[in-house]
Structure 1
Amino acid sequence: MAKKYFTLEEANRLIPFLRGEVEQLQALKQEFEVQFSELRRLKMLHGAGNVTMEREDPFFEMEARLEFLQIQARGIIHRIHEAEVQLKDIDMGLVDFPAKLNGQEVFFCWRLGEDRIRHWHYVWEGYYYRKSLDDELPGEDDELPGE
């Protein structure tokens, strides 16, 4: 299968879908962290090793809820990957779109809270090196590092 490269217009059309998915994923992650911390606290308080075969596991229901949250999150991540974009950071809501600018492979870079894609970076760079689409577009003759 050929690698998908997005035009800026194609990438921006995905933003409403991605916004919803990333917001759901962040909410699931937060819920998971809260419930996991509570489960750890209870296990330390009551001792996880004190469960016998005669008694019902007091942690089973909480562990099942955590597993269900993980399944939901994996489903969202799968849908995001099916869109052929790269989820880079759940907490930041960071998504990269493979693209080409003047013949060079780059990523369009979008972060939750931005209304559209306004930045890009080279494939070997990350979020902190992103550049404004309005300013610094690579030229076709620009030499890439290592060339």
Structure 2
Amino acid sequence: MGLFTVEEAKAELARLLPMLDELVSLRADAAELTASLAPGGTPTTLGGLPEFKAAQARLDELMTNVQETGAQLKGFAPLLIDFPAELDGVDVLLCWIEGDAELSWYHRADLGFAGRRRLP
């Protein structure tokens, strides 16, 4: 996949947000179902093994859908998504983490999350 412009990445993130919201909700359901299925686990009203398997399948589908856009799913809990881009001739990753209201951060591709800065 190619590079995103800032505008393209923001538009793609806006399109992905409903999927990301569903992913967060399913992630919580899967965690609760996993705990309930463990020996001595606390029962849940969410169901049992069939519901867990359905949640896992949908999570896999959503994660695949995100990655097919060219975005990079870097973290699951919390969700962390990078959009490959170039700023002023430097390879960067436009960076969104669960809880961010919008795409407003980036970091150099060689620095990772620790090098995160606000978009100019």
TM-score surpassing 0.5?
A: yes
Q: Which runs of 5+ in 2 are unaligned?
A: 42-46
Deviations 1:38-60 (A, max 9, x none): 111347xxxxxxxxxxxxxxxxx
User: Which position in structure 2 is the counterpart of 1:78?
Assistant: 64
User: Which position in structure 2 is the counterpart of 1:63?
Assistant: 49
Paired with 2:5 and 2:60, the residues of 1 have a C-alpha distance of 27
Deviations 1:58-84 (A, max 9, x none): xxx822221111110011011101111
CA contact (8 A) 1:25 1:90 kept: no
Deviates more, 1:77-86 or 1:11-20: 11-20
Q: Which runs of 5+ in 1 are unaligned?
A: 44-60, 135-147
Deviations 1:94-139 (A, max 9, x none): 21000011222110112233333221111122223201222xxxxx
Paired with 1:38 and 1:31, the residues of 2 have a C-alpha distance of 11
CA contact (8 A) 1:7 1:99 kept: yes
Q: What is the number of residues matched between the two proteins? A: 115
> Aligned pair 1:110/2:96, yes or no?
yes
TM-score (norm 2): 0.84
Paired with 2:65 and 2:111, the residues of 1 have a C-alpha distance of 25
SS at match of 1:65: helix
Paired with 1:115 and 1:38, the residues of 2 have a C-alpha distance of 32
TM-score (norm 1): 0.70
Which of 59, 69, 80 lines up with 1:94 in the alignment? 80
4+ residue stretches of structure 1 with deviation over 4 A?
none
Aligned alpha-carbon RMSD (Å):
1.8
Which of 6, 9, 14 lines up with 1:8 in the alignment? 6
Q: Which amino acid aligns with 1:127?
A: F
User: Which position in structure 1 is the counterpart of 2:115?
Assistant: 129
Which of 31, 34, 37 lines up with 1:36 in the alignment? 34
